[in-house]
Structure 1
Amino acid sequence: MTGPESEGPKLRRAVCPGSFDPITNGHLDIIARASKLYDVVHVAVMINQSKKGLFTVDERIELIREVTADFGNVEVESFHGLLVDFCKQRDIPAIVKGLRAVSDFDYELQMAQMNNGLTGVETLFVPTNPTYSFLSSSLVKEVAAWGGDVSHLVPPTVLPRLTERLARK
């Protein structure tokens, strides 16, 4: 037998995009929840040439791979350009985004409608765990830079690297 019938059931795929500089427990929560809903979850680390990140893209990918290794169905890679192109190249029909607050919704809804209009990709909004509703990578970096305790906000393997990197700055 040849053709699509011989390939077996089609895998349900989704992407969780972001800068992840660094990955936080909030990011990890959304990725973990997506990994229970989809057969394969692609974590797409955005490359933004105009922003200087604390961690390089390769370092972010390494950190994400470490903290998601136990999920078994997460693939991590970088991308540059339109997220819908990333999705089209990998046959990914869904984007999973965490929403922290109403302010996130306005922007994310516009993006979801644009992405759907461009290629038909759907966006699934997942409400953030209330424990992480205030959390962002920027806030974690700022608090850690001033010596605040962020150990409960990032995965354990991320904390020493974050502390070390900020000490070098």
Structure 2
Amino acid sequence: MEAGDIATWVGVLITLGISVATYVQSRRQARIADEANIASQEQVEAAQRRAVAVEDSLAEALRLLAERGLTEAPPTPAMSGGPGAVRWNLERRGKHSYLLRNVGTATATGVHVDRNRATPIVRNMPENATVRPGESLQFLMAPTFGNPLPGEVWVVWEGQPEAISVPLP
């Protein structure tokens, strides 16, 4: 065996070691990403359960008011403030994390962000969410080599037939 052969075998072993380490690291990252997706889905489901509970308690309160003979019920948050009472603000919360906040005075229901106008890499985009005044929805959006971050996201909710542009910070 010549010196060149030894150097070749050492190079092959080093390359093999790097390949194995890269594979192990990629599997670890995939597992972490799966765990993060599961955790975020659980958070979404908990928020939806809270929203349903609040809506049920509001319906019960309105029913009790009607039983007591009050002819005029107080306006629901979605109705107060008139047209245009839902307003949006987008806040950056990390390298790829954003908060879509309702800075208006009314509750927005059926909120979703138009995925067709967003970057290809998005996670936890709002779909059919309920957002009360001051509340926010968190999602992830990352640029790719072929698709940079857009200048805005497009939001639609019940009572708003056309998507509204919310600029990225």
Q: TM-score range by the shorter chain?
A: under 0.3
Larger radius of gyration: 2
Higher helix share: 1
> TM-score, structure 2 length as denominator?
0.24
> More relative contact order in 1 or in 2 (CA 8 Å, sep 6+)?
1
Higher strand share: 2
> TM-score, structure 1 length as denominator?
0.24
